[in-house]
Structure 1
Amino acid sequence: MIPIIHRLLKDNNKVIIGGDGEALQILRQEFSELAWVNIPDLQLNLRRGFNVRTLFIIATSVIKNSIKEHVFLKSLIKELNIDVIISDNRYGLWNSNIKSIFVTHQLMLKLPKPFKIFEGIVYLLVKKAISKFDECWVPDTATVDNLSGDLSHKYPLPSNTKFIGPLSRFTETKGRAVARAYDCVVVLSGLEPQRTYLQNEIISALSQGVLTCLVVEGRPSVNCDNITVGTNIEIVPHLETGVLKTHLLNAKLIICRSGYSSIMDLNALDKKAIIIPTIGQTEQEYLAVHLKQKHFCTSIKDLRETITITVSRILARG
């Protein structure tokens, strides 16, 4: 959403930010001058893995939350005099009285192996939901050299779909001067407890090495001092976009999750990385395999020994 908001402001539009949790916090920090409103998002607990009951709970939760969003938007339109809504993967944020735009790279959803036979049915349901919007923007290219693979290219596109090219918060932001450069920059994100688990594994793997490392926790709502681990690792809760851009460009090695926003950021900076999918998040697991096959990145599971071995091999290759 950050590059989209930059473009809207450049074209002299009045923008109101809507969101929830860490995502809203990042947008508020990036655009401190803009008005904002909290729109509660769906909170899912994926700790127990997938089964029929879990999928049923997720499906009903998505439907219930979409209805709540749709009703909430009606009152918001009247209160704030909104004439366009741009929804980042939130199916309920549309209204027939204003222009409604849906932004997603997931025109189909990857399901766990036991449920793959239902992917076609789920695609039709997603297509039906997207048809409620006037337009569907896909942040990718329509060419073979794309980033999202099956997620936006496997099935026929909804008639209101257009590819708008990959988006990155770094495109409109200039790098800022930093006090030092790091050999390795780790950018963390995602749900707990997986985020903390991965952070601990990476720190354990890299703390005995000779690389200087910066770990960005991806927690913009946390206010605390930087933490130093051993002699080579510094941990920060969050970084301003311009500062993070400079650190990533200076790094010999980047480690991050295989979320699509992270993938687009790497693409914009023309940097390769070790990407580690969140176990149980089928989208990230698919993207990790898909992009590894395209030689876009190196993909590994979040195991301490594997991280250490992979880092050593990459540095040996230069």
Structure 2
Amino acid sequence: MNKNILVAPLNWGLGHATRCIPIIKELENQGFNPIIASDGVSLDLLKKEFPHLKTLELPSYQIEYAKKGENFKWKLIKNSPKTINAILSEKKLVKELIKEHEITGIISDNRLGVRSKKVPSVFITHQLTVLSGKTTWISSKLHQFFISKFNECWVPDAEDKPNLTGKLGHLKDSDLEVKYIGVLSRLEKKELPIKYDLMVILSGPEPQRTFLEEKLIEELKNYDEKVVFIKGKIEPEQKKEEIDNVTFYNFMQTEELEKTFNESNFVLCRSGYTTVMDLAKLEKKAFFIPTPGQFEQEFLAKKYKREGILPMAKQDDFKITDLDAIWLYQGLPKFNSNVDWKKLFLLFESE
């Protein structure tokens, strides 16, 4: 009988869910039976990707973005009692799910309460260091404490240089059981004719996703080349709309998204880490607009700009003419993304 593995991504934007797609596919390839657990748009997306798999709903962390970037951290702190309650609730729920669904392993992408002492539990993160301004030391130590409760921590990056995360995913000294699993992307590079000059792809919690959508729609009125604009809104049905030189979609599933990436000259997007991995895998040039106040995205965007890899601009400052800078940057380094899944999944083979 196939072993049931619970795969539980955090519902914070779509990145955690989308980078679990190749993991879920490989679990099936290796003879396991994945059971998906999440909430909100992340759960909706994975239901669309894997309609044949069992899905379970977990308590929402109720993560909200502030309207102003400088208030981002304080908004998270204000909502932290709700988040803590959700973590405690999901921890209790996981005990029941293990019994009810005969779960023999857990893969949690940043869901702190989805773990068990009774079955092997893995935590996936690219942030061993959690940037939070003056409180970075505290937030990092707290995060590392929670990670230590899991059997293993999988970091989707290269262990040595060059790598994508820098100090985010690499600690100088740590007792954590960390495994670097390489760049993780659901997409593959393909040689296709270029159909679009620019691909815009949005993601992330509200209200910042909408703020950027509105700003970019206004800016694109001054852009003459062909554009495909994916809003990152997971809805029951896909919607397509063509206005002048811009083709709008509310969302795309993996196969169509992969095709569109490969048909596009370059990309305008957030600097979320899952998007970074997709761009590296596809060897695409890009321009980043980090989510205001989100330390991780701002760190990555500034790091790549400083290293001459990819350009970036703050959301309030961005002008469509800024895209001219893309060709002055070298682009993300090419990585070997061959993951030894069989070796990784050995953790779940023990009785």
CA distance 1:228–1:52, shift in 2 (3 Å): closer
> Residue 62 of structure 2 aligns with which residue?
43
3-state SS of 1:96 partner: coil
How many residues align structurally?
309
The answer as to 2:51 corresponding to 1:32 is yes
Q: Which runs of 5+ in 2 are unaligned?
A: 1-19, 330-351
**Aligned-partner Cα distance in 2 for 1:183–1:55:** 37
**Aligned-partner Cα distance in 1 for 2:74–2:212:** 27
C-alpha contact 1:177 1:243 (8 A) present in aligned 2: no
C-alpha contact 2:63 2:76 (8 A) present in aligned 1: no
**Aligned-partner Cα distance in 1 for 2:204–2:72:** 21
Which residues in structure 2 correspond to 1:283-294 (within 5 Å)? 283-294=296-307
> Residue 307 of structure 1 aligns with which residue?
319
For structure 1, which segment, 25-34 or 261-270, has the greater mean C-alpha deviation from structure 2 after superposition?
A: 25-34
CA distance 1:235–1:13, shift in 2 (3 Å): same
Structure of greater relative contact order (alpha carbons < 8 Å, 6+ residues apart): 2
**Aligned-partner Cα distance in 2 for 1:273–1:294:** 14
Deviations 1:133-164 (A, max 9, x none): 11110001111211111211245234311111
For structure 1, which segment, 132-141 or 36-45, has the greater mean C-alpha deviation from structure 2 after superposition?
A: 36-45
- Report how far residue 222 of structure 1 moved: 4.7
CA distance 1:158–1:261, shift in 2 (3 Å): farther
TM-score (norm 2): 0.81
> Residue 94 of structure 1 aligns with which residue?
115
TM-score (norm 1): 0.89
- Report how far residue 45 of structure 1 moved: 2.5
Q: Which runs of 5+ in 1 are unaligned?
A: none
The answer as to 2:179 corresponding to 1:162 is yes
C-alpha contact 1:140 1:163 (8 A) present in aligned 2: yes
**Aligned-partner Cα distance in 2 for 1:224–1:142:** 39
**Aligned-partner Cα distance in 2 for 1:37–1:297:** 38
Matched letter for residue 13 of structure 1: F
> Residue 232 of structure 1 aligns with which residue?
245
> Residue 151 of structure 2 aligns with which residue?
134
Output the aligned Cα RMSD: 2.4
> Residue 29 of structure 2 aligns with which residue?
10
- Report how far residue 10 of structure 1 moved: 0.6
> Residue 257 of structure 2 aligns with which residue?
244
CA distance 1:124–1:13, shift in 2 (3 Å): same
Q: Identify which of 190, 203, 218 aligns with 2:232.
A: 218
Matched letter for residue 133 of structure 1: F
**Aligned-partner Cα distance in 1 for 2:152–2:112:** 13
**Aligned-partner Cα distance in 1 for 2:232–2:195:** 19
**Aligned-partner Cα distance in 1 for 2:147–2:77:** 21
> Residue 254 of structure 1 aligns with which residue?
267
> Residue 286 of structure 2 aligns with which residue?
273
3-state SS of 2:280 partner: helix
**Aligned-partner Cα distance in 1 for 2:158–2:327:** 32
Deviations 1:211-252 (A, max 9, x none): 1111001112253531222x1011101112122112112211
The answer as to 2:197 corresponding to 1:183 is yes
C-alpha contact 2:286 2:326 (8 A) present in aligned 1: no
**Aligned-partner Cα distance in 2 for 1:73–1:8:** 20
